[in-house]
């Protein structure tokens, strides 16, 4: 992972810590209070990143309406980011991320998306599992 001392990492970690109750970094296997029963199956069939994003939101029963997001893709090679974008700009973000890094956000490993205004995290684990943490009303 990139240097944890960089202000972007500190902010991203703080946003996730505010939701999960402690600073666990982005190790999805050690999220405090998360049990295996909380994870939901999430196998992508969509061809585009936007389709996969909608499938992830459907799997956790929550879709952010608008506002700022902190996007942290974590691959076996490390992590690019964190990235700061807005819900309405996600399609452009997905495209630009793939162009710059050569990786698709939702097919390269783990993903944490913090929905800042709703104090919610949408999480995708590379084992094809999804999780919603925080205050998001599941609708």
DSSP category for residue 36: G
**Which phi-psi region, left, alpha or beta, contains residue 83 (left: φ > 0; alpha: ψ -120 to 50)?**
beta
**Strand-pair partners of 121:** 114, 133
CA atoms within 13 A on the CB side of 29: 3
Q: Which residue has the tokens 């998360």?
A: 34
Task: At 36, give phi and psi (nearest 5°).
Answer: -55, -35
Angle at 13 (CA atoms; ends 12, 19), nearest 5 degrees:
100
pLDDT digits (tens, 9 = 90+) for 52-73: 999 999 999 998 888 999 998 8
Alpha helices in 7-116 (DSSP H): 7-20, 49-60, 90-101
* Residue 111 or 25, more confident: 111
Residue 139, pLDDT > 50, answer no
pLDDT digits (tens, 9 = 90+) for 102-138: 878 887 788 999 999 999 999 999 999 999 999 764 4
Residue 85, pLDDT > 90, answer yes
> What local confidence, expressed as pLDDT, does residue 10 receive?
85
> What local confidence, expressed as pLDDT, does residue 68 receive?
94
- In whole angstroms, give the CA distance from residue 93 to residue 120: 20
Distance (Å) of CA 38 to CA 20, 32, 93, 131: 14, 12, 29, 7
Residue 1, pLDDT > 70, answer no
The answer for residues whose C-beta is within 8 angstroms of residue 90's C-beta and 6 or more apart is 50, 53, 69
Averaged pLDDT score across all residues of the chain: 85
């Amino acid at each position: 992972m990139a240097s944890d001392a960089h202000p972007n990492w500190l902010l991203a970690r703080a946003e996730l810590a505010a939701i999960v109750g402690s600073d666990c970094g982005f190790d999805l296997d050690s999220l405090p209070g998360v049990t295996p029963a909380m994870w939901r199956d999430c196998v992508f069939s969509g061809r585009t990143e936007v389709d996969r994003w909608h499938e992830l939101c459907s799997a956790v029963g929550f879709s952010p309406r608008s506002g700022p997001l902190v996007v942290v893709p974590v691959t076996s090679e490390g992590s690019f980011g964190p990235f700061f974008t807005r819900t309405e700009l996600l399609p452009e973000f997905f495209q630009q991320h793939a162009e710059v890094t050569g990786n698709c956000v939702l097919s390269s490993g783990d993903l944490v998306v913090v929905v800042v205004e709703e104090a919610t995290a949408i999480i995708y684990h590379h084992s094809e599992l999804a999780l919603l943490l925080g205050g998001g009303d599941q609708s």
